A and B are shown apart, each in its own frame.
Chain A
């Protein structure tokens, strides 16, 4: 039991980096799903009302930037794990 804890402590550095990689991948997944939903909603709205194209497009881009904000927070944490 003690041996496994010691071994785990020794391997922690590598596990941390693997964790960072998985975290970054999950963050990208979150970004894809989130922005995909935004795009889907935007497409449906444009199909319903093509005159509102410009309004919908600007709102879509704003919403995408806000979602990216959350994703980049996760990316920054993973970068911190790898580099600090």
Chain B
């Protein structure tokens, strides 16, 4: 890192402070409490347990539904790995704002995986509930997905600030290194996504937004495929993240729409009888466009993760049925399939970023069309 940009050093400090404010502990669970036990009453797992009732005097039967949900959902601590019976997790800060009692800031280790309550809050299956039912709280914690987003932002800022510095320092020289890797991508977003959709003279003010969402979605998706820390968090598969990105697109679309577009929505050039049907449909269309953006990104990424995790679960399901040798045998085929799925997911990671950006650009262009 040769850049001495003050913004960069500030952000590095903030992110490192967040990571190290709750020290990385190895939580040696001496009492061996398994994660499956206290979730058995939950409805979604009741069905998984109806598989053949094996005697469980050695260890708990493998529960694929639990494992998949655990990997796909958000959490208040980052579960890095299991070594034997020890769970190695990184406890993340919990930030709660309660209207009655003010701001709370503590480590998620205080909740002890949901077994203890702390300062009037208890932890129930991923939700923080106040012990006093009338209290309304806002959970502003740094959860796994938030930390993963910080990691993605850090990577993006590092890459783009360093190539921006290189471009300003070596103005007359040919690009080399990281610049020559990113320049085709940025030119691709400009020439194949922004210019054809928005038009030659208006595309420039949308370029920062389009570039940001393109790289953010792509890098987040790719990070979600990496199986070890700091990757492996399902950021774009958490419905809140595509929701916010699509809200940005929606707001920018509304702000850049011109009168001609709205006159076509509310007063389309069709016979009066058809107008009664068409205007509600057009209004609904305005709302469904961001909704479909959200669902497409969320469902693609989550489904991809679930497919890969299901192939991994297959190994353990076979091991439960036929002993370790069946597990090893199944692992040959399973690993083949999941590597293939992983490669497909890499394509999907890029494709979903591309489609999201392309559709956003098309929406920006559609609302600015002039009368012809």
Contacts and interface: CB of A to CB of B under 8 A. Distances in A.
Per DSSP, chain B at the interface is: helix
Q: Which of B296, B354, B358 has the most CB of A within 10 A?
A: B296
B351 A69 contact: no
Interface in B39-53: 44, 47
Interface in A34-84: 61-62, 65-66, 68-70, 72-73, 75-76, 82-83
B254 interface: no
B351 A73 contact: no
A62 B299 contact: no
Contact of B299 (A66, A72, A82, A83): A72
B321 interface: no
A84 to B, nearest CB: 8
A50 B56 CA distance: 62
A76 B292 CA distance: 12
Interface in B281-308: 292, 295-296, 298-300, 303
B252 interface: no
B296 A69 contact: yes
Contacts of A83: 44
B351 A61 contact: yes
A73 B355 contact: no
B352 interface: yes
Given A68-B300, A83-B44, A76 B355 contact: no
B296 to A, nearest CB: 4
Contacts of B292: 69-70, 73
A82 B292 CA distance: 22
B352 A75 contact: no
A62 B299 CA distance: 17
A66 B355 contact: yes
Given A61-B351, A62-B355, A75-B303, A69 B44 contact: no
Contact of A76 (B44, B295, B352, B358): B295
Nearest to B44: A83
Per DSSP, chain A at the interface is: helix
Contact of A72 (B47, B295, B351): B295
B299 A65 contact: no
Interface residues of A, number: 14
A54 B352 CA distance: 19
B352 A72 contact: no
A73 B300 contact: no
Nearest to B295: A73
A52 to B, nearest CB: 15
B299 A75 contact: yes
A68 B358 contact: no
A75 B306 CA distance: 12
Interface string B348-359: 000110110010
Interface in B310-351: 351
A69 B352 CA distance: 10
Contacts of A68: 296, 300
B352 A65 contact: yes
Contacts of B303: 72, 75
B50 to A, nearest CB: 12
A65 B355 contact: yes
A72 B358 contact: no
Interface of A: 17, 61-62, 65-66, 68-70, 72-73, 75-76, 82-83
15 contacts: A17-B47, A68-B296, A68-B300, A69-B292, A69-B295, A69-B296, A69-B299, A69-B355, A72-B296, A73-B295, A75-B299, A75-B303, A76-B295, A76-B298, A76-B299
Given A69-B295, A75-B303, 17 more contacts: A61-B351, A62-B354, A62-B355, A62-B358, A65-B351, A65-B352, A65-B355, A66-B296, A68-B300, A69-B299, A69-B355, A70-B292, A73-B292, A73-B295, A75-B299, A76-B299, A83-B44
